[in-house]
Chain A
C-alpha cells in the first residue's frame, strides 16, 4: 500500500494509490482482495445455507435423477439395448434442469445484496475492511456454492441408484452434466446477484427476478417467433443473413447454451448428420455460434458480464 500522509487535495491522494483509483478519474473505486472475498463468501454460505434450503435442493436433485432413471429403466428397453441409458438420462434431466436451475438461482440470489441493504446488515460487512467488490464477489460465490454443493450431493447420492438401475453407467456423461449444470447455475446466480445489487428494495429486486424469468422463459422465444412471422409475411428480408441473425440470437439464450454445450463434455446433444448437412448447404459450414465451444463461451459470458456490470456500478452508489 502506498502512503499518502500529508498529500493535498483528493485527486492528488488518489493518484498515489497504485494507479487503481487514478484510472477512474478520482471517482471512488475499490480493489479486490481474495482473502476478503473468501471471508465474505464463507460467511454468506454459512448464513444462507438454512438447512432446509440446502437439504431440500439436494433431495430435489436426487429425486429428479432417480425418478428419471426409473422411467428410463422401466420404459426404455430400446435405449437400454443400445447401451445409451446414461445418455438418455443426461438428455432428459438436462431438459428439466434447464428450466429449474434458473428458478433456484434467482430465488437464492434475489436478496443477496438488496436484502442486506434493506435490513442494514451490509453495514456490518462494510464496517470491516472489505471493499464493495469483495462483497459482490463473495456473495456470488457464497450463493453459487449453496447451489453447487446441493447439486454435487444430489448427483453423488443418485449415482449409486443410477448405477444399480441402469446397469450401464457412463461417468463422463453423468459428470459432464453435473459440471455444466454447476456452470449454468453460476451464470444465473451472477444474473441474480447483479440485479439484486441494483436496488436497496427487495420488492424491486423481486420484480427484477420475475423480469429475468419472463425474459428468458417467454420473451426470448416470443421474439424469435415474432421475427420469423415478420420474415414469413415479407416485412423482413428472408435470406441467409436473417437466418444467421436468428440462429445467433437463439444461441445467446443461457438455457440454449446449457443444452448445446453438453456435446462438449458428453455424448449427448451432438448435431445429427442431417442437421449438419442442412446447415452446410445453407451456410457452407456449421456456423461457429452453433458449435458447442461457442455455447461454453456464451455460458461464461453470462457469468462474467452481469457481475462485471454490477462490480462497476455498485462502487458508485450510496448504500
Chain B
C-alpha cells in the first residue's frame, strides 16, 4: 500500500488549470521530494491531500484512505508543516504544542519537541514576536507530535538559514529512520537531493519526472563538461573538435596554458584524439557531471542542460 496515491488529479480555478491529470505514488517508508518551481502546483497538490481544497477531478488516497472522506483519520496519523500558514500571535510555543498534543491525543513533552527543533529557549514567548524561521521551527515541532506515520512538509526550509535547513534535513532523516514516510516539497533541488530516496518534478501542474536521485542524474544526456588543458590553441584543431557530432558549446579559455571547454554527449576520447591529430598537446583534462540543480532546471524550464 502506497503512503500516498494521487490518481488523475485535476484542479482548475475557472479558466486556470492548476493541476492537470496529475498521478504519482509515494511508497511507504521512503523520503519523497516533491520538486517544482514556484507556481507549479505543489501546494495545490498538498492542499488537496489535506482536504483544504477539493479536486475538480481525480482522487487522492493517503495511508490507504480517501483524502476527502477520511480526512480526520488521515490527519490524525499525519504530521503537517503547511505553506502559507500563520501561527497564533498571542499564544506561546508551549501553548501551540499543548494544543497540537491535545488535538492528536498524544502525550509528547512540549519541551522535548522544541529541543529537537532548537526552539526550547523561546518556549514561553508569544509566537507573535517570532521570526519566520522560528515560526517554521515551531510548526515543524507541531508536525512531529504523536509520532506520525506520514510527514507532509510544504517548503520546510522557508525562512531557515543554511544551518537551520541542515537541522531540518537531519530531523527528516531521524523521522524516516523511525519508520515515517516523508513527503516534502521544495523549489530547490539542493534541499531534497541529500535526503530523498526519490524525487518527483512538477511543472505546470504535470509530473515531468519521477525517479531516484541517481536515475534523474542519468536521465540527462549531454550532461558532461569536458575541460582540456592544452599547450597551444590551434584554430584547425578547434574546428575539428567543433565538427565532431555529440560535441557542442566549444569555448576557449584565455588563461595560460589555454583550456578548451566543450559539452560532450558521446566519447571524450574522440575529442582528445582530434586535438592530438592536429598536433596539439593535451596536458590535462577533467570532466564534470551535470549537477542535479541542472537536471531540475532542464525539467522545469525546458532548456538544454549545460554543466558548468
Contacts and interface: CB of A to CB of B under 8 A. Distances in A.
Contacts of A281: none
Contacts of A316: 54
Interface in B1-16: 1
B266 interface: no
Interface string B140-171: 00110000000000000000000000000000
A6 B64 contact: yes
B223 interface: no
A5 B1 contact: yes
A82 interface: no
Given A10-B59, A39-B102, A129-B104, A121 B86 contact: yes
Contact of A43 (B73, B99, B139): B99
A131 B1 CA distance: 25
B91 A31 contact: no
A17 B69 contact: yes
Contacts of B91: 43, 46-47
B225 interface: no
Q: Indicate the member of B50, B54, B85 with the most A CB atoms within 10 Å.
A: B85
Interface string B98-119: 0110111100000000000000
Interface in B45-65: 47, 50-54, 59, 64-65
Contacts of A6: 1, 64
A259 B281 CA distance: 104
A119 B66 contact: no
B95 interface: yes
Contact of A14 (B50, B66, B88): B66
A128 B104 contact: yes
Nearest to B76: A129
B80 A127 contact: yes
A123 B139 CA distance: 11
A6 B63 CA distance: 11
Contacts of A4: 64-66, 70
Contact of A10 (B52, B68, B82): B68
Interface string A33-63: 1011001001100110010000000000000
B50 A13 contact: no
A50 B90 contact: yes
B232 interface: no
Contact of B88 (A31, A47, A318): A47
Contacts of A28: 51, 54, 68-69, 71
Contacts of B68: 10, 14, 28
A207 interface: no
A124 B142 contact: yes
A218 interface: no
A124 B69 contact: no
A123 B72 contact: no
A128 B255 CA distance: 60
Residue of A6, A35, A47 with most chain B CB atoms under a 10 A cut-off:
A47
B302 interface: no
A36 B95 contact: no
B104 A120 contact: no
A4 to B, nearest CB: 6
B84 A123 contact: yes
A43 to B, nearest CB: 5
A128 B84 contact: no
A21 B50 CA distance: 17
Interface of A: 1, 4-6, 9-10, 13-14, 17, 21, 28, 30-31, 33, 35-36, 39, 42-43, 46-47, 50, 119-121, 123-124, 126-131, 316, 318-319
Given A1-B73, A121-B85, A124-B85, 8 more contacts: A4-B66, A46-B95, A121-B88, A123-B82, A123-B84, A124-B87, A127-B143, A129-B75
13 contacts: A1-B73, A4-B65, A5-B1, A5-B65, A6-B64, A10-B68, A13-B66, A14-B66, A17-B69, A28-B71, A46-B90, A129-B103, A131-B71
Q: Which 10 A-B pairs have the closest CB atoms?
A: A127-B80, A129-B76, A318-B53, A128-B103, A123-B82, A13-B66, A123-B85, A119-B86, A121-B86, A129-B75
